[in-house]
Amino acid sequence: MPAWLKDAVFYEIYPQSFNDTNADGIGDIEGIIEKLDYVKGLGCNAIWLNPLFDSPFKDAGYDVRDYKKVAERYGTNEDLVRLFDEAHKKGIKILLDLVPGHTSEEHEWFKKSCEADRNEYSDRYIWTDGAFCGIAGHPYIGGEAERDGCYMLNFFKCQPALNYGVLNITEKWQLPTDHPSCIATREAIKDVMRFWLDKGCDGFRVDMADSLVKEDDEVKSATGAIWTNIRAMLDADYPEAALVSEWCNPKCALKYGFHADFYLDHHGNGYNVLVRDCETEGGDHSYFKKDGGDGPQRFLADYLPRYEGSKDYGYISFITCNHDTPRVTKALDISEIKLAYAFFFTMPGVPFLYYGDEIGMRYLADVRTKEGGFHRTGSRSPMQWDASAKNFGFSEASSEKLYIPQDSSADAPSLAEAESDPDSILHTVRSIIALRHEYEDLQADAPFEVVYAKEGERILVYKRGNLLLAVNPSGEAVKIPVSELDSISCSNLIYGIGKADFLEDELVIGAQSFGVWE
Ligand code: GLC
Ligand code: CA
C-alpha cells in the first residue's frame, strides 16, 4: 500500500473544462499547471485526470486511439511530464485514467485486427468467426470489416472490447484467459502503464475495471486474476503507484489488488441514498435532504458490509460527484451540501472532490450533448473562476467556441465570489480537508464505528478512531443523553457547522449541524 494514500485527498479534473490557456475553448495541460496552487490551497494533495490521450473523442477520450500520446488539444507528452514534475514539487500526486477494457475503433491495434489476413492483432479484440453470427447477450458490430466476423463492444459503438479471454467458454471462437493472445493484451496494457509510470505519473484510476474477462463468474475471479498480476508488477517495480478502480465492489476489487475502489452512484446503494435519492417515489429521501430525508439506516445497511468486508485490503472512495454523475446541486442546497461534504471528508478511505463542486457549480440540465456525454454533459461544463472575467476566466475564446456552454444564470457561482463569502461551500471544503490532514483519526485508516443511529431518527453519531462525530441533517435540533452514547469521553469540540456541543449531560445537535470532538 503506497503510504501517501493514507492522507490523500483527490481532486478530479476533467481536462476539457478546467482552464484554457490558448483560447481554443478547451482546457489544456498548461491550464492545469497554472492552477496547481489553487488545488493545493483546497488541501488536495492528489489529482485524477480524466483521459487526455489521442482520441477521436466520441466518448470524451474514453475512446483511446493512442495510449502513449497526449491529445494535441491538451498539449504534448512533454507538457504532461512537466505537469508531473510541477505537481510533485508542490507535493501533489497525479493519477492518469487507464482504459483497459476497450480502445477507440480508430486505434492501430483495432485497424490491424479488422484485416482479413491473420496478424499479431487478430485476437487483440473479441471476434466471432462469422460476420452473420451475433454475440449472445453482448452488443456487437458485424459487416464493417474485411474480416469475416463480428466484434464485441464494451460500451459505445466506437469502443470495441479488448480480448482478455472468456471464462466459461461455450463457442469455438472464444479464447481461454490463459491463451497467449489474451496474455498479450494484458501485457500490452502493462506496457502502457510502465510507459507513464516511468515518466513520473503516480498511478491510475482504472475505467470499467471489472469489464475485462467476459462470461466471468459472479465474483469476477478471472478479471480479478489479471489485476492481481498487474498489482504484482506495481509492488515489484512501482511500489508508490496507486491503483483506483471503477468497480463499486470493494470486497472484490481490493482483494484482487486495487488500493481503492469508488463508491459509485448506483441507484439505491449507500452512496446514492446519501445525496442523490431524488428519483424515488414521493420526493427526495436523501439522508442529507433537510426536509423529507430518511435516517442513516439505508446508508449504513449498504456501507457497513462493504467497509467491514474490505477494510483490511484497501480503501473505499467517497466522491462529491464525477464526470458521469449529476452534480449534487441538482438535488441539494448549499446548507445540505456542506453537511454532506463534511461527512464525506471525515469518512475512512480516500475521498475525491470533483472540480467545481467546491464552489457549488450547478448541474446544467439543458446543455446539448458533447462528445458522448448526453445527460452527463451537464456536469462537465467549464470551471467558473470569476464572474467578472470573460467566460468566468476559463478561456479567452469567444463563448460560442467553449467546449460546453457555461451556467448562464444571473446567480451562477464562481470561485471569486465563494472566496469572499464566509458561508460558501468552498470554506467548508477547505476547513474540513484541513482538519482531516491535522488528525490522523480522520484519515484513511482510522476505524469507523457507529455510536448512535436509531430507526425513525435522523441523527448519526459515529467514531473515527478516538474522535467523536455527529451529524444532524434535519431541520430540528436533537438532544441525546450522554448515557446513550456508551462511555464516550470526548467533549472538546474541534470543529462545528451550525450548533453542536455537549451541554451538561446531553449532546445537543442543532438543525443542520455537524460536530467533531476529541
Ligand atoms: C466509465 C467512464 C465513462 C465512460 C465509460 C466508457 O464509466 O467513467 O465516462 O464513458 O467508462 O469508457
Ligand atoms: Ca486550450
Domain with residue 481: its CATH number is: 2.60.40.1180
Give yes or no: residues 347 and 427 share one domain. yes
Q: Is the CB of 62 under 6 A from ligand 1?
A: yes
**pLDDT per residue over 167-195, tens digit each?**
999 999 999 999 999 999 999 999 999 99
- Among 438, 468, 490, where does a domain finish? 438
Q: What is the mean pLDDT of residues 326-339?
A: 97
Give yes or no: residues 82 and 111 share one domain. no
Q: Whose CA is nearest to atom 2 of ligand 1?
A: 207
Give yes or no: residues 50 and 198 share one domain. yes
Give yes or no: residues 367 and 511 share one domain. no
Residue 127 sits in which domain range?
102-163
What per-residue confidence (pLDDT) applies to 371?
Answer: 98
Classify residue 16 by its DSSP letter. G
Residue 168 domain-assigned (yes or no): no
Give yes or no: residues 215 and 340 share one domain. yes
Residue 71 domain-assigned (yes or no): yes
Return the ligand number nearest the Cα of 208: 1
Whether the per-residue pLDDT at 493 is higher than 80: the answer is yes
What per-residue confidence (pLDDT) applies to 488?
Answer: 74
Give yes or no: residues 228 and 368 share one domain. yes
Question: Quick one: pLDDT band at residue 211, thresholds 50, 70, 90?
Answer: very high
Instruction: Kindly give the number of the ligand 1 atom that is closest to the alpha carbon of 102.
Output: 12
Give ion ligand 2 contacts, CB < 5 A.
Answer: 20, 22, 24, 26, 28
Residue 297 domain-assigned (yes or no): yes
Residue 432 domain-assigned (yes or no): yes
Cell of 452: 448512535
DSSP 377-432: GGG-PPP---TTSGGGGS-SS-GGGSSSPPP-STT---HHHHHH-TTSHHHHHHHH
Q: Is the CB of 158 under 6 A from ligand 1?
A: no
Residue 175 domain-assigned (yes or no): no
Name the residue among 349, 286, 251, 354 with its Cα closest to residue 14: 354
Give yes or no: residues 326 and 204 share one domain. yes
Give yes or no: residues 297 and 149 share one domain. no
- Among 402, 420, 438, where does a domain finish? 438
Q: Is the CB of 208 under 6 A from ligand 1?
A: yes
Q: Is the CB of 67 under 6 A from ligand 1?
A: no
Give yes or no: residues 302 and 245 share one domain. yes
What per-residue confidence (pLDDT) applies to 487?
Answer: 65
Residue 172 domain-assigned (yes or no): no
Q: Is the CB of 155 under 6 A from ligand 1?
A: yes
Domain with residue 361: its CATH number is: 3.20.20.80
pTM score:
0.98
Whether the per-residue pLDDT at 221 is higher than 70: the answer is yes
CB 484 within 8 A of CB 475: no
- Among 368, 403, 438, where does a domain finish? 438
Domain with residue 138: its CATH number is: 3.90.400.10
Phi, psi of 312 (to 5 degrees): -80, -10
Give yes or no: residues 127 and 31 share one domain. no
List C-alpha distances in Å: 364 to 180, 278, 321, 408. Answer: 47, 16, 14, 9
Residue 57 domain-assigned (yes or no): yes
Return the ligand number nearest the Cα of 27: 2
What per-residue confidence (pLDDT) applies to 398?
Answer: 98
**pLDDT per residue over 401-460, tens digit each?**
999 999 999 999 999 999 999 999 999 999 999 999 999 999 999 999 999 999 999 999
Residue 177 domain-assigned (yes or no): no
The total domain count for the chain is: 3
Containing 484, the helix (H) or strand (E) segment is none
Give yes or no: residues 298 and 384 share one domain. yes
Task: Quote the percentage of the chain above a pLDDT of 90.
Answer: 96
Give yes or no: residues 225 and 278 share one domain. yes
DSSP 317-346: E-BS--TTS--GGGT--HHHHHHHHHHHTT
Q: Which of 105, 155, 204 to mutate to test the pocket of ligand 1 (most atoms within 8 A of CB)?
A: 155
